[in-house]
Amino acid sequence: MCISISITHTTVDILTLNHYFLQVIFGEIDLKKVFRLAYEGGVMVTKKLPPPNELEFEKVYVPYLLLNKKRYAAPMWEPKRDEQGRLCKVPDTYSYVDVKGLELVRRDACNLTSQVMKRTLDILLLDRDEAKAVRYVKDIVHRLYNNQIDMSKLVVSRGLTKNVHEYGNKQPHVEVAKKMMAREPSTAPTRGSRVPYVMIKMEKKAQTTAKAEHPLYVLKHNLAIDAEHYINNQLRKPISRIMMPVMGRRQDGSYIEAQDGHKAAYRVNKLFEGAHTRRRAGDRLAPPGQHSTKRKRGIMTLGSFFATSYTCLVCRQPIHSNNSATRALCQLCAPQAPVRMARYVEQKRKAESDHARLWNECLRCQKTKHRAVQCSNMDCPIWYVRDQRGRDIEDLGLTLKRFDEPW
């Protein structure tokens, strides 16, 4: 410790005497000048240090997003050296984005969290576009509220360290394992297995552990995802942490003082609140244009006493035999039938193409193309995406069938 402190003080003294620390420049910088000064400073300090100590110039971070001690993110620029180790050329591009202390890889977080954080950091550090980052986060929140995020990105998996009945407290993956055991004991997870689960929408008073459900069960029964849970527990804290230093500035570029930090927090909270969150999907993932009147869990609604009805695929108005020739569009929107039908045909074609591509990927994974896919790896994202695409094909087929169904 004493040797390292002595070397540090020696380095500071040498650089201070040679006027390297007289000025700190913020904003745009000249990389060539920075690399030259850093290399010269390393050579100068190395001559003053007792051998075999050496101060070597390693890298430059620009731009640099510093959150607090040992928590930062920045593109790393490494110098190019000749055979003697001397600086010969400034790199044309960065090596990679170095991230320390942020939640990019965590087993208790879903893939959506790491994906959104990585993309947001790329926009802020590489594109240097704050407005674009704000639009991206708001678009993710809007899509999450409208059930437009793939199920594979929302799955969280945890392992069973002991038998299900040995757990004293309630945990989401344990409750899912109990549900699977009650439905089909032969395929239920056992000790040592990983249990995937997602959070579904239920009553506000429902416990978090009760909202956990197996992804395949959610896909099979078209249950809606609890967007509020994922936004408040998966996205809000990590995204706010990296957006606070960027959005906590005034229009002139100066930073908001600590006593006015609530102003920056108000701006960051607007990423998860506002007009982009007002339009939300229903409680079930029903096919487009079809209203499901099944009762909610534990709630008897007025719609429970009526039969299933259809709405126009364009204006969403109820349609019946008096104002429509088919079960797809109302009389006012009927002229748009060719365009709308072509759009659904294109969506179905794309879903079939994705399903075939994913199916071939699963066949290559099991190293055979002469038998059906028999995969049991529930941690694989392709598992859920392939199942979802198959259900999308079925729903789009039912929607297209409505164009040919007269009353």
User: Using CA atoms, how far apart are residues 39 and 54, in angstroms rounded to an integer?
Assistant: 12
Q: 29: pLDDT confidence band, cut at 50, 70 and 90?
A: low
Q: 367: pLDDT confidence band, cut at 50, 70 and 90?
A: confident
- Report the pLDDT value the prediction gives residue 9, as an integer from 0 to 100: 56
- Report the pLDDT value the prediction gives residue 1, as an integer from 0 to 100: 40
Contact present, 210 and 202 (Cβ < 8 Å): yes
**Whether pLDDT at 101 is above 80:** yes
- Report the pLDDT value the prediction gives residue 222, as an integer from 0 to 100: 84
Mean pLDDT score of the chain: 79
- Report the pLDDT value the prediction gives residue 302, as an integer from 0 to 100: 45
* Lowest-confidence pick of 14-23, 96-105, 211-220, 298-307: 298-307
**Whether pLDDT at 303 is above 50:** no
Residue 199 backbone dihedrals phi, psi, to 5 degrees: -100, 125
Residues of the chain with CATH 1.10.132.60: 111-277
Tell me: the pLDDT tens digits for 147-163? Answer: 888 888 999 988 899 98
Tell me: the pLDDT tens digits for 258-294? Answer: 445 566 677 888 899 888 888 776 544 434 444 444 4
Q: Which residue did the predictor score with more confidence, 21 or 401?
A: 401
Q: Which of 276, 345, 349, 288 has the alpha carbon at shortest distance from 316?
A: 288
* Lowest-confidence pick of 58-67, 94-103, 188-197, 253-262: 253-262
Which helix or strand (DSSP H or E) is residue 235 part of? none
- Report the pLDDT value the prediction gives residue 352, as an integer from 0 to 100: 94
Tally of helices (H runs) and strands (E runs) in the chain: 12, 12
Kindly write down the DSSP assignment for every residue of 82-129, as one continuous string: -TTS-EEE--SS-SEEEEESSSSS-TTS-HHHHHHHHHHHHIIIII--
Q: What superfamily in CATH does domain 111-277 come from?
A: B family DNA polymerase, thumb domain (1.10.132.60)
What is the average per-residue pLDDT within 26-41?
75
**Whether pLDDT at 341 is above 60:** yes
Q: 11: pLDDT confidence band, cut at 50, 70 and 90?
A: low
- Report the pLDDT value the prediction gives residue 391, as an integer from 0 to 100: 86
